[in-house]
Amino acid sequence: MVQIKYLTLKLERDNIEKIINGDKRLISRVITYVENNEDNKHDILKTLYKYTGKAYKIGITGPPGAGKSTITDCLVKLLVKEGFKVGVIAVDPTSPYTGGALLGDRVRMTDSSLLENVFIRSMATRGSLGGLCKSVNDVCNILDASGKDFIILETVGVGQSELDIAKTADTTVVVLVPESGDSIQAMKAGLMEIADLFVINKSDRLGADEILTSLKNMLHLRNPGEDKREIGVIKAIASRNTGIEELLAEITGHGKYLKTTGLFEKKRCKQAENEIKEIVNSGLQKNFWNEKNRNLLEINLKKIVDKETDPYTLSEELFGQ
Ligand SMILES: Nc1nc2c(ncn2[C@@H]2O[C@H](COP(=O)(O)OP(=O)(O)O)[C@@H](O)[C@H]2O)c(=O)[nH]1
Ligand SMILES: [Mg+2]
Protein backbone atom coordinates (compact mmCIF):
# COMPACT_ATOMS: atom_id res chain seq x y z
CA MET A 1 0.00 0.00 0.00
CA VAL A 2 2.81 2.36 0.86
CA GLN A 3 4.33 1.68 -2.53
CA ILE A 4 1.04 2.42 -4.30
CA LYS A 5 0.68 5.71 -2.50
CA TYR A 6 4.27 6.64 -3.12
CA LEU A 7 4.08 5.91 -6.82
CA THR A 8 0.71 7.52 -7.46
CA LEU A 9 1.67 10.62 -5.53
CA LYS A 10 5.05 10.88 -7.15
CA LEU A 11 3.59 10.25 -10.59
CA GLU A 12 1.35 13.24 -10.17
CA ARG A 13 4.38 15.44 -9.57
CA ASP A 14 7.84 15.34 -11.03
CA ASN A 15 8.38 11.63 -11.54
CA ILE A 16 6.37 11.54 -14.74
CA GLU A 17 9.03 13.75 -16.21
CA LYS A 18 11.73 11.41 -14.94
CA ILE A 19 10.08 8.43 -16.61
CA ILE A 20 9.69 10.31 -19.88
CA ASN A 21 13.34 11.23 -19.70
CA GLY A 22 14.27 7.58 -19.23
CA ASP A 23 15.12 7.33 -15.52
CA LYS A 24 15.97 3.64 -15.34
CA ARG A 25 15.29 3.04 -11.68
CA LEU A 26 11.87 4.57 -11.87
CA ILE A 27 11.02 2.72 -15.09
CA SER A 28 12.02 -0.55 -13.42
CA ARG A 29 9.85 0.20 -10.42
CA VAL A 30 6.83 1.10 -12.52
CA ILE A 31 7.20 -2.08 -14.58
CA THR A 32 7.49 -4.24 -11.49
CA TYR A 33 4.49 -2.51 -9.99
CA VAL A 34 2.41 -3.08 -13.13
CA GLU A 35 3.59 -6.68 -13.51
CA ASN A 36 2.57 -7.45 -9.97
CA ASN A 37 -1.00 -6.67 -10.93
CA GLU A 38 -1.38 -3.92 -8.37
CA ASP A 39 -4.92 -2.61 -8.18
CA ASN A 40 -4.33 0.94 -9.34
CA LYS A 41 -1.84 0.11 -12.01
CA HIS A 42 -4.19 1.40 -14.70
CA ASP A 43 -3.88 4.89 -13.22
CA ILE A 44 -0.19 4.85 -13.96
CA LEU A 45 -0.65 3.39 -17.43
CA LYS A 46 -3.35 5.96 -18.21
CA THR A 47 -1.08 8.81 -17.24
CA LEU A 48 1.79 7.49 -19.34
CA TYR A 49 -0.27 6.58 -22.39
CA LYS A 50 -0.34 10.04 -23.90
CA TYR A 51 3.45 9.95 -24.18
CA THR A 52 3.44 6.72 -26.22
CA GLY A 53 3.39 6.21 -29.98
CA LYS A 54 6.90 7.23 -30.88
CA ALA A 55 8.73 3.91 -30.54
CA TYR A 56 9.02 1.58 -33.53
CA LYS A 57 8.40 -1.98 -32.38
CA ILE A 58 10.43 -4.87 -33.78
CA GLY A 59 9.36 -8.42 -32.98
CA ILE A 60 12.00 -11.14 -33.21
CA THR A 61 10.72 -14.68 -33.06
CA GLY A 62 11.81 -18.17 -34.10
CA PRO A 63 12.71 -21.56 -32.66
CA PRO A 64 14.82 -21.87 -29.51
CA GLY A 65 18.54 -21.58 -30.22
CA ALA A 66 18.09 -19.93 -33.64
CA GLY A 67 20.06 -16.89 -32.50
CA LYS A 68 17.31 -14.44 -31.56
CA SER A 69 19.17 -13.12 -28.53
CA THR A 70 22.43 -12.83 -30.48
CA ILE A 71 20.64 -10.90 -33.24
CA THR A 72 18.94 -8.68 -30.66
CA ASP A 73 22.30 -8.02 -29.07
CA CYS A 74 23.87 -6.97 -32.40
CA LEU A 75 20.85 -4.92 -33.40
CA VAL A 76 20.81 -3.05 -30.09
CA LYS A 77 24.46 -2.13 -30.47
CA LEU A 78 23.97 -0.97 -34.03
CA LEU A 79 20.96 1.15 -33.08
CA VAL A 80 22.76 2.74 -30.14
CA LYS A 81 25.76 3.45 -32.37
CA GLU A 82 23.39 5.31 -34.70
CA GLY A 83 22.21 7.41 -31.79
CA PHE A 84 18.93 5.72 -30.90
CA LYS A 85 17.48 4.79 -27.54
CA VAL A 86 16.40 1.17 -27.34
CA GLY A 87 14.16 -0.93 -25.13
CA VAL A 88 14.31 -4.74 -25.14
CA ILE A 89 11.59 -7.03 -23.85
CA ALA A 90 12.69 -10.65 -23.78
CA VAL A 91 9.76 -13.03 -23.36
CA ASP A 92 12.03 -16.00 -23.09
CA PRO A 93 13.18 -17.44 -19.79
CA THR A 94 16.48 -18.54 -21.33
CA SER A 95 17.48 -15.11 -22.59
CA PRO A 96 20.93 -14.27 -21.33
CA TYR A 97 20.26 -10.64 -20.46
CA THR A 98 20.95 -9.62 -16.93
CA GLY A 99 20.49 -6.18 -15.51
CA GLY A 100 21.38 -4.28 -18.64
CA ALA A 101 24.54 -6.22 -19.49
CA LEU A 102 24.45 -7.45 -23.04
CA LEU A 103 26.34 -10.39 -24.47
CA GLY A 104 29.95 -10.08 -25.66
CA ASP A 105 31.08 -6.75 -26.98
CA ARG A 106 31.05 -7.42 -30.70
CA VAL A 107 30.59 -3.86 -31.76
CA ARG A 108 33.04 -1.33 -30.47
CA MET A 109 31.15 0.85 -28.12
CA THR A 110 31.73 2.16 -24.68
CA ASP A 111 29.65 0.43 -22.04
CA SER A 112 28.38 3.74 -20.78
CA SER A 113 26.56 4.55 -24.00
CA LEU A 114 24.89 1.12 -23.86
CA LEU A 115 24.01 1.55 -20.23
CA GLU A 116 22.62 4.99 -20.83
CA ASN A 117 20.58 4.24 -23.94
CA VAL A 118 19.36 0.68 -23.51
CA PHE A 119 16.74 -0.69 -21.16
CA ILE A 120 16.31 -4.46 -21.01
CA ARG A 121 13.54 -6.37 -19.33
CA SER A 122 13.07 -10.12 -19.25
CA MET A 123 9.57 -11.36 -18.68
CA ALA A 124 8.74 -14.79 -17.36
CA THR A 125 6.34 -16.85 -19.42
CA ARG A 126 4.26 -17.47 -16.33
CA GLY A 127 1.15 -19.58 -16.75
CA SER A 128 -1.57 -17.98 -18.78
CA LEU A 129 -0.81 -16.63 -22.22
CA GLY A 130 -3.56 -14.06 -22.21
CA GLY A 131 -2.15 -12.37 -19.14
CA LEU A 132 1.29 -12.40 -20.69
CA CYS A 133 0.14 -10.52 -23.79
CA LYS A 134 -1.39 -7.83 -21.66
CA SER A 135 1.77 -7.50 -19.57
CA VAL A 136 3.90 -7.25 -22.70
CA ASN A 137 1.65 -4.47 -24.00
CA ASP A 138 1.86 -2.66 -20.66
CA VAL A 139 5.66 -2.87 -20.53
CA CYS A 140 5.83 -1.78 -24.17
CA ASN A 141 3.79 1.30 -23.34
CA ILE A 142 5.98 2.19 -20.37
CA LEU A 143 9.15 1.87 -22.48
CA ASP A 144 7.55 3.80 -25.33
CA ALA A 145 6.59 6.62 -22.97
CA SER A 146 10.15 6.63 -21.62
CA GLY A 147 11.44 7.93 -24.95
CA LYS A 148 12.72 4.81 -26.68
CA ASP A 149 13.07 5.09 -30.45
CA PHE A 150 12.95 1.32 -30.88
CA ILE A 151 11.55 -1.51 -28.80
CA ILE A 152 12.71 -5.04 -29.59
CA LEU A 153 10.46 -7.88 -28.49
CA GLU A 154 12.20 -11.24 -28.38
CA THR A 155 9.82 -14.19 -28.13
CA VAL A 156 10.61 -17.86 -28.48
CA GLY A 157 8.57 -19.16 -31.41
CA VAL A 158 6.90 -22.33 -30.26
CA GLY A 159 3.22 -21.65 -29.77
CA GLN A 160 0.28 -19.33 -29.94
CA SER A 161 1.74 -16.83 -27.50
CA GLU A 162 4.37 -15.43 -29.83
CA LEU A 163 1.85 -15.21 -32.62
CA ASP A 164 -0.20 -13.05 -30.30
CA ILE A 165 2.78 -11.04 -29.18
CA ALA A 166 3.75 -10.50 -32.81
CA LYS A 167 0.53 -8.53 -33.15
CA THR A 168 2.16 -5.95 -30.92
CA ALA A 169 5.11 -5.41 -33.30
CA ASP A 170 5.28 -3.09 -36.29
CA THR A 171 7.79 -5.34 -38.05
CA THR A 172 8.03 -9.02 -37.20
CA VAL A 173 11.27 -10.82 -37.98
CA VAL A 174 11.20 -14.62 -38.04
CA VAL A 175 14.61 -16.21 -37.46
CA LEU A 176 15.33 -19.61 -38.95
CA VAL A 177 18.52 -21.66 -39.24
CA PRO A 178 19.75 -24.10 -41.92
CA GLU A 179 18.62 -26.97 -39.70
CA SER A 180 15.02 -25.70 -39.94
CA GLY A 181 15.03 -26.92 -43.59
CA ASP A 182 12.78 -29.92 -43.07
CA SER A 183 10.42 -28.15 -40.79
CA ILE A 184 9.88 -25.30 -43.24
CA GLN A 185 7.44 -27.43 -45.19
CA ALA A 186 5.62 -28.19 -42.01
CA MET A 187 5.96 -24.67 -40.69
CA LYS A 188 2.77 -23.46 -39.21
CA ALA A 189 0.84 -21.16 -41.50
CA GLY A 190 0.66 -18.81 -38.55
CA LEU A 191 4.39 -18.22 -38.46
CA MET A 192 4.38 -17.55 -42.20
CA GLU A 193 1.61 -15.03 -41.80
CA ILE A 194 3.22 -13.00 -39.06
CA ALA A 195 6.61 -12.69 -40.80
CA ASP A 196 7.39 -9.34 -42.40
CA LEU A 197 10.95 -10.47 -42.85
CA PHE A 198 12.97 -13.68 -42.55
CA VAL A 199 16.51 -14.10 -41.31
CA ILE A 200 18.38 -17.29 -42.10
CA ASN A 201 20.84 -17.14 -39.24
CA LYS A 202 23.86 -19.41 -38.78
CA SER A 203 24.58 -19.11 -42.49
CA ASP A 204 28.09 -20.30 -41.66
CA ARG A 205 26.54 -23.75 -41.56
CA LEU A 206 25.67 -26.11 -44.40
CA GLY A 207 22.26 -25.79 -45.99
CA ALA A 208 21.76 -22.03 -45.73
CA ASP A 209 21.27 -21.59 -49.47
CA GLU A 210 18.88 -24.52 -49.68
CA ILE A 211 16.64 -23.14 -47.00
CA LEU A 212 16.81 -19.72 -48.63
CA THR A 213 15.56 -21.18 -51.91
CA SER A 214 12.78 -23.25 -50.39
CA LEU A 215 11.65 -20.32 -48.28
CA LYS A 216 11.51 -18.03 -51.30
CA ASN A 217 9.55 -20.66 -53.21
CA MET A 218 7.08 -20.92 -50.39
CA LEU A 219 6.73 -17.18 -50.15
CA HIS A 220 5.71 -17.01 -53.81
CA LEU A 221 2.75 -19.23 -53.02
CA ARG A 222 1.73 -17.10 -50.11
CA ASN A 223 -1.46 -15.09 -50.18
CA PRO A 224 -0.12 -11.56 -49.89
CA GLY A 225 -3.17 -10.00 -48.21
CA GLU A 226 -2.94 -6.25 -47.83
CA ASP A 227 0.83 -6.21 -47.60
CA LYS A 228 1.80 -6.60 -51.27
CA ARG A 229 5.50 -6.05 -50.67
CA GLU A 230 7.91 -8.86 -51.40
CA ILE A 231 9.02 -10.36 -48.10
CA GLY A 232 12.75 -9.99 -47.51
CA VAL A 233 14.89 -13.00 -46.73
CA ILE A 234 18.32 -12.20 -45.32
CA LYS A 235 21.24 -14.43 -44.54
CA ALA A 236 23.09 -13.64 -41.32
CA ILE A 237 25.83 -14.91 -39.05
CA ALA A 238 24.87 -13.12 -35.88
CA SER A 239 27.72 -14.60 -33.85
CA ARG A 240 30.07 -12.73 -36.22
CA ASN A 241 27.84 -9.66 -36.45
CA THR A 242 27.33 -10.34 -40.15
CA GLY A 243 24.11 -9.35 -41.91
CA ILE A 244 22.90 -7.08 -39.13
CA GLU A 245 23.19 -3.81 -41.05
CA GLU A 246 21.25 -5.37 -43.88
CA LEU A 247 18.65 -6.55 -41.39
CA LEU A 248 18.24 -3.06 -39.98
CA ALA A 249 17.97 -1.63 -43.50
CA GLU A 250 15.19 -4.12 -44.27
CA ILE A 251 13.36 -3.29 -41.05
CA THR A 252 13.60 0.43 -41.73
CA GLY A 253 12.52 -0.20 -45.33
CA HIS A 254 9.48 -2.12 -44.14
CA GLY A 255 8.60 0.71 -41.75
CA LYS A 256 8.82 3.25 -44.57
CA TYR A 257 6.70 1.04 -46.79
CA LEU A 258 4.02 0.81 -44.09
CA LYS A 259 4.03 4.57 -43.63
CA THR A 260 3.87 5.51 -47.30
CA THR A 261 1.06 3.07 -48.06
CA GLY A 262 -1.09 4.02 -45.08
CA LEU A 263 -0.75 0.50 -43.71
CA PHE A 264 1.05 1.78 -40.64
CA GLU A 265 -1.99 3.60 -39.32
CA LYS A 266 -4.14 0.56 -40.00
CA LYS A 267 -1.64 -1.62 -38.18
CA ARG A 268 -1.61 0.71 -35.17
CA CYS A 269 -5.44 0.61 -35.09
CA LYS A 270 -5.32 -3.18 -35.19
CA GLN A 271 -2.77 -3.14 -32.36
CA ALA A 272 -5.03 -0.88 -30.32
CA GLU A 273 -7.95 -3.23 -30.92
CA ASN A 274 -5.91 -6.22 -29.75
CA GLU A 275 -4.65 -4.30 -26.78
CA ILE A 276 -8.13 -3.32 -25.65
CA LYS A 277 -9.36 -6.89 -26.05
CA GLU A 278 -6.48 -8.14 -23.89
CA ILE A 279 -7.29 -5.60 -21.19
CA VAL A 280 -10.99 -6.44 -21.26
CA ASN A 281 -10.35 -10.18 -21.24
CA SER A 282 -7.99 -9.97 -18.32
CA GLY A 283 -10.46 -7.75 -16.47
CA LEU A 284 -13.31 -10.20 -17.15
CA GLN A 285 -11.24 -13.13 -15.92
CA LYS A 286 -10.27 -11.31 -12.78
CA ASN A 287 -13.81 -10.17 -11.99
CA PHE A 288 -15.47 -13.39 -12.96
CA TRP A 289 -13.40 -15.66 -10.75
CA ASN A 290 -14.31 -13.85 -7.56
CA GLU A 291 -14.70 -15.69 -4.28
CA LYS A 292 -18.35 -16.51 -4.83
CA ASN A 293 -17.75 -18.11 -8.23
CA ARG A 294 -14.61 -19.90 -7.11
CA ASN A 295 -16.60 -21.43 -4.24
CA LEU A 296 -19.48 -22.36 -6.50
CA LEU A 297 -17.01 -24.14 -8.77
CA GLU A 298 -15.28 -25.87 -5.88
CA ILE A 299 -18.41 -27.31 -4.28
CA ASN A 300 -19.73 -28.60 -7.61
CA LEU A 301 -16.66 -30.41 -8.90
CA LYS A 302 -17.43 -33.68 -7.15
CA LYS A 303 -21.06 -33.45 -8.28
CA ILE A 304 -19.91 -33.16 -11.88
CA VAL A 305 -17.69 -36.21 -11.56
CA ASP A 306 -20.60 -38.10 -9.93
CA LYS A 307 -22.87 -36.93 -12.78
CA GLU A 308 -25.25 -35.16 -10.40
CA THR A 309 -24.75 -32.11 -12.57
CA ASP A 310 -22.71 -31.29 -15.70
CA PRO A 311 -20.16 -28.66 -16.75
CA TYR A 312 -22.69 -26.92 -19.02
CA THR A 313 -25.28 -26.42 -16.32
CA LEU A 314 -22.64 -25.28 -13.89
CA SER A 315 -21.27 -22.70 -16.37
CA GLU A 316 -24.77 -21.30 -16.76
CA GLU A 317 -25.08 -21.07 -12.99
CA LEU A 318 -21.71 -19.31 -12.84
CA PHE A 319 -22.93 -16.80 -15.39
CA GLY A 320 -25.94 -16.31 -13.14
CA GLN A 321 -28.40 -17.55 -15.73
N1 LIG B 1 27.46 -20.96 -35.71
C2 LIG B 1 26.69 -19.94 -35.33
N3 LIG B 1 26.25 -19.88 -34.06
C4 LIG B 1 25.45 -18.84 -33.69
C5 LIG B 1 25.08 -17.83 -34.61
N6 LIG B 1 24.28 -16.95 -33.97
C7 LIG B 1 24.15 -17.40 -32.72
N8 LIG B 1 24.86 -18.53 -32.52
C9 LIG B 1 24.97 -19.33 -31.30
O10 LIG B 1 23.77 -20.07 -31.11
C11 LIG B 1 23.48 -20.23 -29.74
C12 LIG B 1 22.04 -19.78 -29.43
O13 LIG B 1 21.94 -18.38 -29.66
P14 LIG B 1 20.83 -17.49 -28.94
O15 LIG B 1 21.01 -16.12 -29.48
O16 LIG B 1 20.86 -17.65 -27.47
O17 LIG B 1 19.50 -18.16 -29.52
P18 LIG B 1 17.95 -17.89 -29.12
O19 LIG B 1 17.52 -19.03 -28.26
O20 LIG B 1 17.22 -17.91 -30.43
O21 LIG B 1 17.87 -16.58 -28.44
C22 LIG B 1 24.53 -19.42 -29.01
O23 LIG B 1 25.52 -20.29 -28.55
C24 LIG B 1 25.07 -18.49 -30.06
O25 LIG B 1 26.40 -18.09 -29.81
C26 LIG B 1 25.59 -17.93 -35.96
O27 LIG B 1 25.29 -17.09 -36.83
N28 LIG B 1 26.37 -18.99 -36.24
MG1 LIG C 1 16.99 -16.02 -26.56
State the DSSP string of 95-136. ---BTTB-SS--S---HHHHHHHEEEEE----S-HHHHHHHH
* One pLDDT digit (tens) per residue for the chain, 321 residues: 335 445 554 565 678 899 999 999 899 989 988 887 677 788 889 999 999 999 999 999 888 889 999 999 999 999 999 999 999 998 865 555 544 344 443 344 456 777 789 999 888 765 444 567 888 999 999 999 999 999 999 987 766 666 777 778 999 999 999 987 666 655 656 677 788 999 999 999 998 998 888 888 888 777 666 667 888 999 999 999 999 999 999 999 999 999 999 999 999 999 999 999 989 988 888 889 999 999 999 999 999 999 999 999 999 999 986
Whether ligand 1 lies within 6 angstroms of the CB of 91 is answered as no
DSSP letter at 316 equals H
With a CB cutoff of 8 Å and minimum separation 6, the contacts of 180 are: 63, 66, 187, 211
Same domain flag for 158 and 254? yes
Residue 47 in domain: yes
107: Cβ–Cβ under 8 A, 6 or more apart, which residues? 74, 77, 78, 81, 241
Does residue 206 have its Cβ closer than 6 Å to ligand 1? no
Residue 168, phi then psi, degrees to nearest 5: -80, -25
Domain of 160, CATH number, reads: 3.40.50.300
The model's pTM is 0.87
112 with 10, same domain?
A: no
How many A from CA of 46 to the centre of ligand 2? Answer: 31
State whether the beta carbon of 28 lies less than 6 angstroms from ligand 1: no
In a domain, 282, yes or no: no
Contact present, 152 and 76 (Cβ < 8 Å): yes
Domain assignment present for residue 281? The answer is no
Asked whether residue 29 is assigned to any structural domain, the reply reads: yes
Determine, yes or no, domain membership for 124.
yes
Same domain, 106 and 134: yes
Q: Is the CB of 69 under 6 A from ligand 1?
A: yes
Element (H, E) at 69: helix 68-81
Give ∠ CA 122-26-2 in degrees, rounded to 5. Answer: 105
> Could you give the dihedral angle defined by the CA atoms of residues 274, 160, 125 and 136, in that order, rounded to the nearest 10 degrees?
-20
Residue-range definition of the domain harbouring residue 247: 52-271
Considering the domain architecture, whether residues 34 and 95 belong to the same structural domain is answered as: no
The answer to whether residues 76 and 178 belong to one domain is yes
The answer, yes or no, to whether any atom of ligand 1 lies below 6 A from the CB of 245, is: no
Of ligand 1's listed atoms, the one at least distance from the Cα of 237 is: 27
- What is the per-residue pLDDT for 126? 54
For residue 179, the cross-strand partners are none
CA dihedral 58, 74, 173, 233 (to 10 degrees): 140
Among 34, 51, 68, where does a domain finish? Answer: 51
**Ligand 1 atom at shortest distance from the alpha carbon of 240:** 27
Give backbone dihedrals phi and psi of 202, rounded to 5 degrees, phi first.
60, 40
Please count the other Cβ atoms lying within 10 Å of the Cβ belonging to residue 189.
Answer: 9
CA of 71 to the centre of ligand 2 (A): 9
Whether residues 131 and 185 fall in one domain = yes
DSSP 237: B
Could you say which ligand is closest to the alpha carbon of residue 73? 1
Query: Is 284 among the domain residues?
Result: no
Domain count, the chain: 3
Ligand positioned closest to the Cα atom of 92? 2
- Beta strands (DSSP E) in the chain are 56-62, 86-91, 118-122, 150-156, 171-176, 197-200, 232-235
* 246 located within any domain: yes
188 HSE (CA, 13 A, CB side): 13
268 within 8 A of 168, measured Cβ to Cβ: no
Residues 87 and 17 in one domain: no
What's the CA angle centered on 112, arms 107 and 118, to 5 degrees?
75
Is ligand 1 within 6 A of the CB of residue 70? yes
Q: Are residues 243 and 180 in the same domain?
A: yes
My answer on whether 46 and 57 are in the same domain is: no
Domain match, 200 and 295 both: no
Residues 293 and 181 in one domain: no
Ligand 1 pocket: which of 95, 239, 247 to mutate (most atoms within 8 A of CB): 239
Q: Is the CB of 201 under 6 A from ligand 1?
A: yes
Residue nearest to atom 19 of ligand 1 (CA): 65
77 Cβ closer than 6 Å to some ligand 1 atom: no
105-114 long-range contacts (CB < 8 A, ≥24 apart) are 106/73, 106/74, 106/77, 106/240, 106/241, 107/74, 107/77, 107/78, 107/81, 107/241, 109/77, 109/80, 109/81, 113/80, 114/76, 114/77, 114/80
How far away, in angstroms, is 97 Cα from ligand 1 center? 14
Same domain, 111 and 230: yes
Q: How far is the C-alpha of 320 from the C-alpha of 316, rounded, in Å?
A: 6
Q: Which residues contact 74 (CB under 8 A, 6 or more apart)?
A: 106, 107, 238, 241, 244
Determine, yes or no, domain membership for 176: yes
Q: Which ligand is nearest to the CA of 94?
A: 2
Q: Which ligand is nearest to the CA of 179?
A: 1
Q: Which of 219, 45, 274 is nearest to 142 (CA)?
A: 45
